[in-house]
């Protein structure tokens, strides 16, 4: 059945390429098949070409609970696509003479400290938003992720000094959300407005993004908003929205296809609104899309790219024949999105989803993009669908293997006794973790992140498995204990069980010391 559908879609893709024009019905069919192939409840898609909307439509349902249709006005969290707004706002402050990209961060936040004293004195605003701080991928994200923790922006600024770098300053690209949270605080201090107030009043309103908000909590009309969904225990389920307001500068914006098409049109019109108002100077707008931190291009790159890297809040690359592409993706628990522009083709593509599967948005975006770039049929739905099936099977097999060993370990009489393990453990930036035993089983609880609690199950004599009660996290970890000469624990570290775990569950950056 799958192969038969793939053949039909191949014919459709060929017709797209021949026409270099997206036929609405054929694109509808592709998106409907994408929903089924990747088990996504709802997708909304928009295409902007030559300043005109040629496609804006939703498919599937916005929620598995209410079964209401997804449409072009359905509100979705755009996640890290918010980073482009943060950098646009900072650029406006550069135009206003209140900021320079190469200002030292401590000029605006005197109390800011990094792990390294020299970096503390020299890190700039530009460094904050180009993922070259030296901090690891997702380092410190547990201070805002998942939601329902008690960390404030001040706490994050205070705790960053405990995050150890994993690469040299200004060398490697390591994606980091906390640096954008700091950048949002810079914006607040130089503008006198909160990040949310600035984004809505200085950018969204003049651009004409009438149905967008700078954060989930600012959405008052929720009659047409998605519910988040994720695959857990081999089944897609609905889960609560999850994003801490503290991290809005890194990923808090709520929008829809129509408003994101308006944003794309504005950007490709050189930052000039429909009313003719220029919001950013040509110089600063040009700066946003210049490569700041280089990234490697794969040897067999799908789009014959020659360069790739990160600008100021945007990824930049070239595609087929030197067309510059400016793009970003975003992910929350239960939501992934993609925003793509090829300015010299005056082409914008927006894909918003309510399930955590990036293969879905890549299938849609790549198919549309290929049609306009003139690629012959490459059948992304079959290629990515096959890869997705293999990846999920691989992850499931890893988890099954681990829990098989957990089941066997229960009978191991050489395991440590409860008095050797129970107690309170502290990490310098994350706070306390408590391990308890009720006589039959162990439990684990993170003090400052109230939803991170669950069972602690034996794996071997030095390693246990933290099985979180919230199964939608898909973030179970090995807890690896260190022991003193008397056999009592002195500390613990953590490591992901399966590679599917979202990097923002950065348990691997924790280093617990037992305190009692």
On the CB side of 41, CA atoms within 13 Å amount to: 26
Rounded Cα distance between 511 and 516, Å, is 16
For residues 134 and 142, is the Cβ–Cβ distance under 8 A? no
Q: How confident is the model at residue 321, as a pLDDT?
A: 83
Give which of 27, 9, 84, 21 is closest to 338, Cα–Cα. 84
Q: How confident is the model at residue 21, as a pLDDT?
A: 62
Query: Residue 444 corresponds to which tokens in the numbers above?
Result: 């684990």
Q: Give strand pairing partners of 445.
A: 434, 453
List strands edge to edge, sheet with 315-319.
52-60, 42-49, 347-353, 335-342, 323-332, 315-319, 308-310, 293-295
For residues 41 and 236, is the Cβ–Cβ distance under 8 A? yes
Cβ atoms < 10 Å from Cβ of 65: 11
Chain centre to alpha carbon of residue 190:
27
- 160: Cβ contacts below 8 Å, ≥ 6 apart: 112, 113, 114, 115, 140, 178, 182, 429
Q: What is the dihedral of CA 424, 425, 431, 436, to 10 degrees?
A: -40
pLDDT tens for each residue of 19-40: 446 689 999 999 999 999 999 9
Task: Scan for tokens 């994606």, then name that residue.
Answer: 175
pLDDT tens for each residue of 38-77: 999 999 999 999 999 999 999 999 999 999 999 999 999 9
Q: How confident is the model at residue 261, as a pLDDT?
A: 98
Q: What is the dihedral of CA 156, 157, 158, 164, to 10 degrees?
A: 80
The CA angle 476-477-483, to the nearest 5 degrees, is 150
Q: Which residues of the chain have pLDDT under 50?
A: 1-8, 10-20
Q: How confident is the model at residue 377, as a pLDDT?
A: 84
Query: Residue 388 corresponds to which tokens in the numbers above?
Result: 């997705």
Q: How confident is the model at residue 247, as a pLDDT?
A: 97
- DSSP letter at 306 equals S
Largest CA distance in the chain: 76
DSSP string, 454-466: EEEEE-SSSEEEE
Q: Which domains does the chain have, with CATH numbers?
A: 2-378 (3.40.710.10), 414-514 (2.40.128.50)
- 291: Cβ contacts below 8 Å, ≥ 6 apart: 307, 309, 310, 311, 316
- 258: Cβ contacts below 8 Å, ≥ 6 apart: 46, 53, 56, 72, 73, 211
- DSSP letter at 330 equals E
């Amino acid at each position: 059945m799958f192969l038969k559908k793939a053949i039909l879609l191949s014919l459709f893709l060929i017709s797209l390429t021949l026409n270099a024009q997206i036929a609405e019905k054929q694109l509808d069919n592709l998106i409907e098949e994408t929903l089924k192939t990747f088990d996504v409840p709802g997708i909304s898609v928009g295409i902007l070409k030559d300043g005109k909307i040629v496609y804006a439509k939703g498919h599937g349902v916005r929620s598995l609970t209410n079964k209401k249709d997804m449409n072009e006005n359905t509100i979705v969290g755009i996640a890290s696509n918010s980073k482009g707004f943060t950098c646009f706002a900072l650029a406006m402050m550069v135009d206003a003479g209140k900021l320079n990209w190469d200002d030292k961060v401590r000029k605006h936040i005197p109390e800011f400290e990094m792990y390294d004293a020299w970096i503390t004195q020299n890190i700039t605003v530009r460094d904050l938003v180009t993922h070259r701080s030296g901090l690891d991928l997702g380092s410190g994200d547990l201070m805002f992720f998942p939601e329902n923790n008690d960390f404030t922006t001040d706490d994050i600024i205070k705790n960053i000094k405990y995050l150890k770098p994993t690469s040299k300053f200004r060398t490697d690209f390591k994606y980091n959300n906390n640096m954008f949270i700091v950048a949002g605080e810079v914006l607040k201090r130089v503008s006198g407005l909160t990040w949310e107030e600035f984004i809505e009043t200085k950018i969204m309103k003049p651009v004409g993004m009438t149905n967008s908000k700078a954060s989930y909590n600012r959405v008052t009309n929720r009659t047409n908003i998605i519910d988040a969904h994720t695959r857990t225990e081999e089944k897609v389920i609905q889960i609560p929205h999850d994003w801490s307001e503290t991290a809005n500068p890194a990923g808090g914006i709520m929008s829809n296809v129509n408003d994101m098409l308006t944003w794309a049109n504005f950007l490709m019109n050189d930052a000039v609104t429909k009313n003719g108002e220029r919001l950013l100077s040509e110089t600063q707008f040009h700066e946003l899309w210049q490569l700041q931190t280089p990234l490697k291009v794969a040897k067999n790159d799908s789009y014959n790219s020659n360069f790739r890297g990160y600008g100021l809040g945007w990824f930049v690359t070239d595609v087929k024949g030197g067309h510059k592409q400016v793009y970003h993706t975003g992910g929350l628990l239960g939501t992934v999105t993609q925003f793509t522009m090829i300015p010299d083709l005056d082409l914008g593509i927006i894909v918003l989803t309510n399930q955590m599967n990036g293969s879905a948005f890549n299938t849609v975006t790549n198919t549309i993009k290929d049609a306009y770039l003139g690629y012959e049929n490459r059948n992304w739905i079959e290629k990515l669908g096959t890869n997705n099936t293999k990846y999920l099977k691989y992850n499931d097999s890893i988890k099954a293997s681990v829990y098989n060993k957990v089941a066997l370990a229960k009978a191991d009489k050489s395991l440590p006794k409860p008095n050797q393990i129970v107690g309170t453990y502290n990490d310098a930036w994350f706070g306390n973790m408590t391990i308890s035993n009720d006589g039959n089983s162990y439990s684990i609880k993170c003090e400052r992140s109230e939803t991170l609690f669950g069972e602690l199950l034996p794996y071997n004599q030095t390693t246990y498995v933290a099985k979180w009660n919230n199964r939608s996290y898909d973030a179970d970890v090995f807890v690896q204990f260190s022991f003193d000469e008397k056999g009592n624990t002195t500390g613990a570290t953590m490591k992901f069980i399966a590679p599917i775990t979202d990097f923002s569950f950065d348990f691997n950056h924790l280093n617990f010391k037992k305190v009692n």
